[in-house]
Structure 1
Amino acid sequence: MPQYLKLLLDYPVVIAAIVVSGIGGTFQYGFNVSVMTSPSAFIKELVNTTCRRRYNVTLEQWQLSLIWSFTVSIFCIGGLLGSLLISPLLSKFGRKQCLLLNNAVAITGAALMLLSQTANSFEMIMVGRFLYGINSGVSFSVHTLYLTECAPKRLRGMVGVTVSTFISFGKFCGQLLGISELLGTEGGWPWLLGFNGFTALLQLSTLSFLPESPRFLLLDRGDRPACEQAVRRLWGNKDCSREVEEMLEENATLQSVRSHSVLELIQNRAVRWQLLTIVVIFTTLQLCGINAVYFYSFEVFRAAGIQDQQLRYAALGTGLCEVFTSVACFMIIENTGKKVLLVRGYLGMSVTLVLLTVTLYLQSHVSWVPYCSMTLIFFFIFFFAIGPAGAASPLPGELFTQSFKAAGYTVACSLNWTGLFVLGMVFPVLADTLHYFCFLIFLFFCGGCALFVRFNVPETRNRTVLEIAAEFQRMHSKSGESQREKMSEQKASGAQTHETKL
């Protein structure tokens, strides 16, 4: 671990890219996921006040709940739209320009949030949430892709984990700024909801000083001098000739091969296992139960004797736990590898879900059991942040060659946003019907994903995209070892010139 951290410190421009792209990237997603809890009472009051003044109507409770649910959920609809825009935006503007242009969407949304109370318009909050969703949907993919393409191969795993670190940090900041001592007040909540605009301005003012992704410049634009200049700016005087040669090899392989659409990705049998891996992992990422555990954490904290007015401070502890664990994942991933972290993380989450179901069932019968439940909640967050949260985000960029990357991220992020939206709609019903036994449903997804990754996905650490593609084919080839030998012969003879044979 120290050797990789020391190695990263030798790349100060890469560290700057991590911070700058993160603060206006997945930080926005994490912040928006957690920020709506604190000002909910003030926003509902604004909805009631607006309807009385504008329409002379007093809303019933179910009508108010419906408007509130739509206000929260429209963020996911915007995120899904942003995910669908990724492929054409990346092809036209590139990684850096996408991030820069995306900040304008966040700043517009923030302006609507800041003015909503003055204008007595809850509709402005809805539109702002929708724009925040588009911003988060685009930045979730582009931030990840930009970082992993700017990092040296031996640090790609460590740098990729920072994507989830900024998500966790965003969640924690949303919880922290939402307390009543800061912006969680009647006068401060518009500034709380508009905070994303400040982080967007920060990225907008600093990202322009960083270079574009070297891989994009070479493989998409075919501009080798610009690629070499970007490498020198990012990596300094380090000897990175081998990695440039690997990019050139991939460039030679992809000559005359254009970027593929999502439909072409789905239809291409040569990458079906990579696509299936993305589908399984990103579906499970939302259906693993992390949101359910956060939901039930308040019930557990109450049972453990924590007063209602102190619950938000206890929630800060869960957010802080996720941040620290994500940092720990950042430290160990280069030595451990993504496959091991995914398998161990989901297995640990599976065991924890079983024990948590048992303790929640017994907490009204045994006085000390709520403390066990509280401990298990922190264990579950630990296993999530140390494994799936850190290892999953960069996978589309590692499993697919350059012409399939944009489509791969479109599929991954669309699944992520769809899962978040469906869970937001369905989970309240599950919670009311099954109560804590709903964890058994999430147990199925966690255990199934762990087994799938264990037997069907190769390790990606210190491997190029072409090497990973060859390993997928070896693992799932009917002819087994003979196919591996055949591929080795093809590689040695230079006959492997078309991407779909990889």
Structure 2
Amino acid sequence: MSQYLSLLLDCPVVIAAIFIAGIGGTFQYGFSVSVLTSPSVFIKELVNNTCQQRYGLSLEQWQVSLIWSFTVSIFCIGGLLGSMVVGPLMSKYGRKQCLLLNNFVAIFGALLMLFSQKATSFEMIMAGRFLYGINAGVSLSAHTMYLVECAPKRLRGMVGVTISTFISLGKFCGQLLGISELLGTEQRWPWLLGFNGFTALLQLSTLPFLPESPSFLLLNRGDREACDKALKRLWGDKDYTREVEEMMKEKAAMQNVRNHTVMELIQNQNVRWQLITILITFTGLQLCGINAVYFYSFDVFRAAGIQEGQLRYAALGTGLCEVSTSIGCFMIIENMGKKVLLFRGYMGMSVTLVLLTITLFLKTHISWMPYCSMVLIFMFIFCFACGPSGIIAPLPGEIFTQSFKSAAYTLACTLNWTGLFVLGMLFPVLVENLGYFCFLIFLFFCTVCGLHVRFNVPETKHKSALEIAADFDRMHRKSGESKKQSTEQGLNGVKTCETRF
């Protein structure tokens, strides 16, 4: 661990890129996911006041709930739109420029949030949430690809974990700022919802001082000189000849090849197993049960004797657990390996879900069982944060070559947002009909994802996209092929898939 940490400390500009890209990147997503919990009562009251002042109508409870549900869900619709447009934008304008322009979307959304109460307009909150969704959809891909391409190959696992760390930090900050002692009051809640604008301003004022992604400069723009300057600024006066040679090999394989579309990615047989891996892991990321565990945590805390007024502080404990575990994953990932952490994380989550279902079933029969459930909740969050949460986000940028990356991120984020939206719609129905037995559904997805990683995904640590492609081919080659033949076919397969269109 100390070896890799020393390597990172020798690259201060990479450290700056982690914090600057993160605060205006995936932090926005995490904050927006958790921030509406605290001011929900005040927003519903604004909905009623708006209709009374404008139309002289007093809405019934089900009507307010319907408007509230749409306000929450429109964030996912915006996110889906953002994830669909970000690929072409990154390919044309670059990762850094895409992040910079994306901040204006968040700032405009924040202004709508800040003035919604004075204007007595809940529609402004809806529009702001939609813009926040677009911002989050763009930043999930742009932030991830920018960091992965700026980091040295030996540190990509460690740097990639910070993407989920900022998601967790965003969730925790949304919970923390939402308490009544800070911004979760009837007078200050618009400032809580508008907080995304301040983080966007912070990134907008600092990101211009960082270089563009070296991979983008060399592979997309063909500017070797700009690539060398960017590498020197990011990594210092070090020998990065090997990394440049690998990028040049990839550039040679991409000669006269344009960036592929999502449909071309789906149709290409040479990257079939990489595509299957993205489909399974990103679907599993939303259907692993983390949202269900957070939902049931309040019932468990109540059963354990925590006072109703103290539940918000107990919820802060779950958010803090996810942040601290993600930081721990950051420290160990380069030694443990991504495949090991991902497999163990999914298997640990599977075991925990089984035990949690049992303890929730027995909580009314045995007095001390809620305490076991509480421990299992923190264990589940621990397994999630040190496995799927920290490793899956940067995966498309690691296992696909440059011409497929934008399409892969577009597909992955579309799956992420669609899963989040569908889960938001179906989860209340599942809870109402199945109760805590809904964990068994999530158990299935955790187990499938874990087994797929174990038997079908190679280790990606310290490897280039071409080497990973060869490893995928080696794992799934027909019996009887020699190791040498498989390696050659893996490399040739990448070149074929690059020149095929």
Q: TM-score, normalised by structure 2?
A: 0.98
Check whether the contact 1:253–1:499 (CA below 8 A) recurs between aligned residues: no
Question: 1:475-486 maps to which residues of 2 (within 5 A)?
Answer: 475-482=475-482, 484-486=483-485
Aligned to 1:388: 388
Check whether the contact 1:270–1:501 (CA below 8 A) recurs between aligned residues: no
Distance 1:496 1:24 in 2: 34
Rate the CA distance shift 1:489–1:315 in 2: closer, same or farther, 3 A.
Answer: closer
Shift of 1:489: 5.4
Aligned to 1:166: 166
Indicate whether 1:258 and 2:258 are aligned: yes
Distance 2:110 2:185 in 1: 18
Q: Residue 40 of structure 2 aligns to which amino acid in structure 1?
A: S
Measured against aligned partners, the alpha-carbon deviations of 1:266-304 in whole angstroms (never above 9, x if no partner) come to 000000110000000000000000000000000000000
Aligned to 1:237: 237
Q: Residue 484 of structure 2 aligns to which amino acid in structure 1?
A: E
Aligned to 2:126: 126
Secondary structure in 1 matching 2:57: coil
- Structure 1 runs not aligned, ≥5 long: none
Q: Which stretches of structure 1, 4 residues or longer, exceed 6 Å deviation after superposition?
A: none
Q: Residue 291 of structure 1 aligns to which amino acid in structure 2?
A: N
Distance 1:235 1:154 in 2: 12
Shift of 1:496: 7.9
Measured against aligned partners, the alpha-carbon deviations of 1:58-83 in whole angstroms (never above 9, x if no partner) come to 11111110000000010000000000
Check whether the contact 1:39–1:184 (CA below 8 A) recurs between aligned residues: yes
Aligned to 1:462: 462
Aligned to 1:424: 424
Indicate whether 1:194 and 2:194 are aligned: yes
Q: TM-score, normalised by structure 1?
A: 0.98
Q: Percent identity?
A: 75
Distance 2:489 2:196 in 1: 51
Secondary structure in 1 matching 2:309: helix
Shift of 1:29: 0.3
Distance 1:327 1:283 in 2: 24
Measured against aligned partners, the alpha-carbon deviations of 1:401-435 in whole angstroms (never above 9, x if no partner) come to 00000000001000000000000000001011111
Aligned to 1:24: 24
Distance 2:360 2:274 in 1: 38
Aligned to 1:445: 445
Question: 1:160-309 maps to which residues of 2 (within 5 A)?
Answer: 160-309=160-309
Measured against aligned partners, the alpha-carbon deviations of 1:114-134 in whole angstroms (never above 9, x if no partner) come to 000000000000000000000
Check whether the contact 1:474–1:481 (CA below 8 A) recurs between aligned residues: no
Rate the CA distance shift 1:181–1:497 in 2: closer, same or farther, 3 A.
Answer: closer
Aligned to 1:58: 58
Distance 2:133 2:493 in 1: 45
Check whether the contact 1:149–1:215 (CA below 8 A) recurs between aligned residues: yes
Check whether the contact 2:403–2:498 (CA below 8 A) recurs between aligned residues: no
Distance 2:220 2:339 in 1: 29
- Structure 2 runs not aligned, ≥5 long: none
Distance 1:495 1:286 in 2: 31
Aligned to 1:374: 374
Q: Residue 92 of structure 2 aligns to which amino acid in structure 1?
A: K
Measured against aligned partners, the alpha-carbon deviations of 1:157-200 in whole angstroms (never above 9, x if no partner) come to 00000000000000000000000000000011000000000000
Shift of 1:257: 1.1
Check whether the contact 1:254–1:499 (CA below 8 A) recurs between aligned residues: no
Check whether the contact 2:304–2:370 (CA below 8 A) recurs between aligned residues: yes
Q: Residue 145 of structure 1 aligns to which amino acid in structure 2?
A: M
Shift of 1:498: 3.7
Distance 2:499 2:222 in 1: 22
Shift of 1:486: 2.3
Distance 1:193 1:281 in 2: 31
Check whether the contact 1:400–1:465 (CA below 8 A) recurs between aligned residues: yes
Aligned Cα RMSD in Å?
1.4
Secondary structure in 1 matching 2:119: coil
Report the number of matched residues: 500
